């Protein structure tokens, strides 16, 4: 699970190394074990957050997006036809299941969330509540 508004700093190199280790099957060879977790971009704009998930080769009906108690969970499960695994010299990707979860800040309007899948990218738009939007500068009169 990942917090939606967590910032990325230069001193967080260790999680990336650990992620790389567990994404690759250097220590074991189990063709049925899927470590393919799609890459995610999270953007915060003035009026919304956007989550983009790189998931090429899938169809929009392969995805399921659920929201419960400010936790959004994106999952995908594809039915892969049985492949001749012995035909592969090296296999680094497959279209297996994944699940990613993000804790949404209270500023997100949960009633207006929309998703779109286009060109291999699943985009989820999370509009901010009106009271969370940037307010224009206010001039205060001096008496």
| In-domain check, residue 140 | no
Mean pLDDT of the region 47-56: 93
| Pairing of β 98-103 and β 2-3 | parallel
| In-domain check, residue 98 | yes
Over residues 113-137, the pLDDT tens digits come to: 999 999 999 999 999 988 877 778 8
Over residues 66-113, the pLDDT tens digits come to: 999 889 999 987 655 556 666 777 777 666 688 999 999 989 999 999
Q: What pTM did the predictor assign?
A: 0.64
Q: Give the total number of structural domains in the chain.
A: 1
Residue 65: strand pairing partners: 74
Instruction: Give Cα separations from 26 to 35, 46, 55 (angstroms).
Output: 12, 42, 23
Q: Which two tokens stand for residue 43?
A: 């953007």
Tally Cβ neighbours within 10 Å of residue 61: 8
34 or 135, higher pLDDT: 135
Which domain, by its residues, includes 19? Answer: 2-131
- Collect all residues with Cβ–Cβ distance below 8 Å to 42 and sequence separation of at least 6: 4, 49, 50, 51, 52, 102
The length of the chain is 143
| In-domain check, residue 143 | no
């Amino acid at each position: 699970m990942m917090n939606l508004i967590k910032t990325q700093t230069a001193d967080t190199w260790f999680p990336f190394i650990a992620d790389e280790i567990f994404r690759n099957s250097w220590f074991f060879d189990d063709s049925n074990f899927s470590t393919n977790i799609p890459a995610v971009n999270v953007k915060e704009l003035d009026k919304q957050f956007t989550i983009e998930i790189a998931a090429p080769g899938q169809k929009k009906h392969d995805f399921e997006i659920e929201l419960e108690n400010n936790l959004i969970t994106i999952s995908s499960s594809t039915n892969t036809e049985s492949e001749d695994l012995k035909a592969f010299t090296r296999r680094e990707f497959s279209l297996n299941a994944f699940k990613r979860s993000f804790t949404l800040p209270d500023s997100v309007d949960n009633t207006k969330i929309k998703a779109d899948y286009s060109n291999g990218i699943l985009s989820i738009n999370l509009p901010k509540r009106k009271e969370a939007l940037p307010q224009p500068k206010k001039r205060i009169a001096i008496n």
